[in-house]
């Protein structure tokens, strides 16, 4: 692995957690996959690229263009392998087991992708069986939905360092770093994909993105499928909410 600092670009989830639990979120998750699954098969891709109404790829992040595939992303047109690394912290003793957290997400997530791809894509989970302890307390990373690049980089750097001796990262297409949901510094709203502008290097392979999972137990079951979709370059197909209004001030006291 590389020890250099690596800047990264995150793909923030524009909806607060409550919105992701809504029916609308189910629809957008599936419509995002459906849009891209049109282009997953070779014959479909050729047909799409010839169609006059097919969207063309642009420079936009997660472009919806179907004429080509962005080779920087794994293409879910075959079985892909996902490793789940379970991270504990010295300031908390886990109240769950890796097996319980695996069952929170699988096989449900695999079934979702099988349905959404009409059977063309299988996501194969490879969960580690034991917790791996991070070197610093959970509160040291200031984990939050829009956490600082420095704290996030420290988290990823430490996670990769402790996992690397136990995981051959060259075998996997998707990496889930799953944090102890009961550690005091873990914020369940922080689950997301981190896209690295400079890949992390491990086991002779480049890690370009990681899904950092901070879900509670039991979790929001839609979130892992949604974030995994971003690993396959699927865009968010919903309107981000308007920024919150500033707090209302009480009216000024009237003069007596
Ligand atoms: Zn998203």
Indicate the CATH number of 80-238 among 1.10.3470, 3.40.390, 3.40.50, 2.40.50. 3.40.390
Query: 159 CA distance to ligand 1 centroid (A)?
Result: 23
pLDDT at position 2 over 90: no
Residue 90 CA to ligand 1 centre (angstroms): 31
State in Å: Cα 29 to ligand 1 middle: 8
State the distance from the centre of ligand 1 to the C-alpha of 223, rounded, in angstroms: 9
What's the pLDDT score for residue 15?
A: 44
Q: Residue 252: its pLDDT value, please?
A: 63
226 CA from centroid of ligand 1 (Å): 6
* Ligand 1 centroid, distance to 1 Cα (angstroms): 28
Max mean pLDDT range (65-74, 162-171, 236-245): 162-171
Residue 4 has pLDDT above 90, yes or no: no
pLDDT at 83: 98
pLDDT given for residue 19 in this prediction:
40
Query: Cβ contacts of residue 200 below 8 Å, gap of 6+?
Result: 1, 2, 6, 156, 157, 160, 206, 207, 210
pLDDT-derived band of residue 241, with 50, 70 and 90 as boundaries?
A: confident
Q: How far does the centroid of ligand 1 lie from the alpha carbon of residue 119, in Å? A: 23
CA of 14 to the centre of ligand 1 (A): 7
Q: What is the pLDDT of residue 151?
A: 97
pLDDT digits (tens, 9 = 90+) for 23-64: 334 444 444 444 444 444 444 444 445 567 888 999 999 998
pLDDT at 5: 36
CA of 243 to the centre of ligand 1 (A): 17
Centroid of ligand 1 to alpha carbon of 256 (angstroms)? 54
Average pLDDT of 88-115?
A: 97
The residues near 155 (Cβ < 8 Å, ≥ 6 apart) are 141, 143, 212
**CA 7 to ligand 1 centroid distance, Å:** 20
Dump pLDDT digits (tens) for 117-133. 999 999 999 999 999 99
Maximum Cα interatomic distance, the chain, rounded to a whole number of Å: 79
Share of the chain above pLDDT 70, in %: 77
**Confidence at residue 250, expressed as pLDDT on a 0 to 100 scale:** 65
Query: 92-101, 157-166, 225-234, 237-246: which range is least confident on average?
Result: 237-246
Which residue from 100, 112, 126 is spatially nearest to 215, judged by alpha carbons? 100
The yes-or-no verdict on residue 229 having pLDDT over 90 is yes
pLDDT surpassing 80 at residue 255: no
Domain residue ranges in the chain? 80-238
Average pLDDT over residues 214-243: 90
How many angstroms does the Cα of residue 12 sit away from the middle of ligand 1? 7
Q: Count Cβ atoms below 10 Å from residue 250 Cβ, excluding itself.
A: 5
User: For 218-244, what is the mean pLDDT?
Assistant: 88
The CA distances from residue 99 to 72, 77, 85, 106, in Å, are 31, 28, 11, 10
CA of 238 to the centre of ligand 1 (A): 9
Cβ neighbours of residue 127 closer than 8 Å, sequence gap 6 or more? 83, 84, 86, 98, 99, 101, 102, 106
Question: What does the pLDDT average to over 71-82?
Answer: 94
Q: How far is the CA of 220 from the centre of ligand 1 (A)?
A: 14
User: For residue 166, how far is its CA from the centre of ligand 1 (angstroms)?
Assistant: 29
Tokens of 17: 């957690």
Measured in Å, residue 174 CA sits from the centre of ligand 1 at: 16
Q: Name the least confident of 43-52, 186-195, 245-254.
A: 43-52
Ion ligand 1, residues whose Cβ is below 5 A away: 13, 236
Which of residues 244 and 174 earns the better pLDDT score?
Answer: 174
């Amino acid at each position: 692995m590389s020890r250099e600092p690596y800047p990264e670009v995150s793909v923030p989830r524009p909806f607060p957690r409550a919105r992701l639990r809504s029916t609308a979120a189910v629809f957008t998750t599936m419509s995002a996959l459906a849009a891209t699954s049109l282009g997953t098969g070779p014959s479909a891709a050729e047909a799409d690229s010839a169609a006059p109404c097919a969207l063309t790829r642009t420079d936009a992040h997660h472009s919806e263009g179907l004429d080509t595939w962005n080779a920087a992303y794994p293409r879910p047109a075959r079985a892909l392998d996902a490793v789940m690394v379970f991270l504990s912290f010295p300031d908390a003793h886990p109240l769950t087991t890796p097996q319980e957290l695996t069952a929170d997400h699988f096989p449900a997530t695999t079934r979702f992708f099988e349905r959404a791809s009409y059977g063309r894509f299988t996501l194969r989970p490879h969960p580690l069986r034991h917790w791996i302890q991070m070197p610093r307390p959970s509160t040291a990373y200031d984990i939050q939905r829009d956490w600082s690049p420095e704290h996030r980089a420290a988290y990823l750097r430490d996670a990769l360092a402790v996992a690397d001796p136990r995981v051959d990262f060259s075998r996997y297409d998707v990496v889930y770093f799953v944090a102890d949901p009961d550690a005091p510094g873990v914020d369940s709203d922080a689950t997301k994909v981190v896209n690295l502008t400079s890949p992390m290097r491990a086991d002779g392979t480049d890690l370009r993105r990681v899904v950092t999972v901070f879900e509670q137990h039991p979790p929001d079951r839609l979130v892992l499928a949604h974030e995994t979709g971003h690993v396959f370059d699927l865009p968010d197909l919903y309107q981000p909410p308007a920024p919150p209004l500033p707090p209302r001030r009480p009216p000024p006291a009237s003069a007596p």
